Amino acid sequence: MTPLIDPFARAISYLRVSVTDRCDFRCTYCMSEHMTFLPKADLLSLEELDRLCTTFVRLGVQKLRITGGEPLVRKELPEMIARARAKEGVEDVAITTNGLLFARRAKELVEAGLNRVNISLDALTPEVFARITRGGKVERVLEAIEKALELGLHPVKLNAVVIRGMNEEEVVPLAGLSLDRPLHVRFIEYMHLDNSDPEAYRRRFVPGKETRARIEAVYGPLEPVPHDPTSPARVFKIPGAQGTVGFINPVTEPFCTHCSRLRLTSDKKLRPCLLTDLEMDIAWAFAAPEPVEALVDAILIATNRKP
């Protein structure tokens, strides 16, 4: 096994794989209304995921997060999870989902070996939620959260991106979800991922500090909670709460020092860092005569290029 260590001595312990670019929502901060998507045949196949998992094990990476787009729009998701978990050395398989299809498919995902789920929830007020997601129904996401708790997934994390003029007032009720249930609500600073209209981005950006102040104005000072130093979230708790409240501040407090991740995009490009445009096309490696060896090389190169 070759441990995956980058030039800054950061161990890569975690791979985030996007299995589709499609989604059944159109969140305003993530997608435009009229998207064109990759042909389905170009997405990661089950066999390719299998090769990727063999590669991870070879490189000592134990954790896999499946994301998208929306991973649940891939019918084969349970099979993907099962194949990943079947590899000796893959300890933990998680998904990040918008929750729309989760409640109805959760049981098969858990039976396939799903360990953890992050569910995105940007607002509790139905109208605000519908505005952000361009028509999404918040009840479906709340059902997803209930289902995840009922099936004993642990921890259940909720992700909220905070956007000025949209949902900055929702952060108080969202934080309140952590009071009497073991829910871990994380507030994420809006990132300027598509580089369009910098002025509009600046207007919509809310610093994590402001979000925290809004929550503390209602619930009082948050208590720090010890947490995994490689996690991007700074974690706190409302005194007496069962769950936690976390802040992921990639813009005002970049967590590069502890970054332990690599990402594979849905068009099979490795991205060593989310905050730069750096990417390496590795589609060829899946089709190489010795795909695992080719993938190991490609991943080592990407790791070496982590800024």
Which residues bind to ligand SAM, rule: CB under 6 A? 23, 29-30, 67-68, 70, 96-98, 120, 159, 161, 188, 190-191, 193
| Nearest-approach distance from CB 148 to ligand SAM, in angstroms | 13
Binding mask of the shown chain, residues 103 to 122, with x at each position contacting ligand SF4 by CB under 6 A? -----------------x--
CA atoms 19, 65, 124, 275: torsion sign: negative
35 binds, among ligand SAM, ligand SF4, none (CB under 5 to 8 A by kind): none
| Alpha carbon distance 14, 23 (integer Å) | 23
31 binds, among ligand SF4, ligand SAM, none (CB under 5 to 8 A by kind): ligand SF4
190 binds, among ligand SF4, ligand SAM, none (CB under 5 to 8 A by kind): ligand SAM
Report cis status (omega within 30 of 0) of the bond before 291. no
| Nearest-approach distance from CB 224 to ligand SF4, in angstroms | 28
188 binds, among ligand SF4, ligand SAM, none (CB under 5 to 8 A by kind): ligand SAM
Q: Alpha carbon 284 to chain centroid distance?
A: 26
In degrees, rounded to 5, the angle at the alpha carbon of residue 212 between the alpha carbons of residues 208 and 216 is: 170
| Nearest-approach distance from CB 284 to ligand SAM, in angstroms | 25
CA atoms 196, 131, 157, 202: torsion sign: positive
Site for ligand SF4 in 24-63 (CB under 6 A): 25-27, 30-31
> Which residues of this chain interact with ligand SF4, rule CB under 6 A?
23, 25-27, 30-31, 68-70, 98, 120
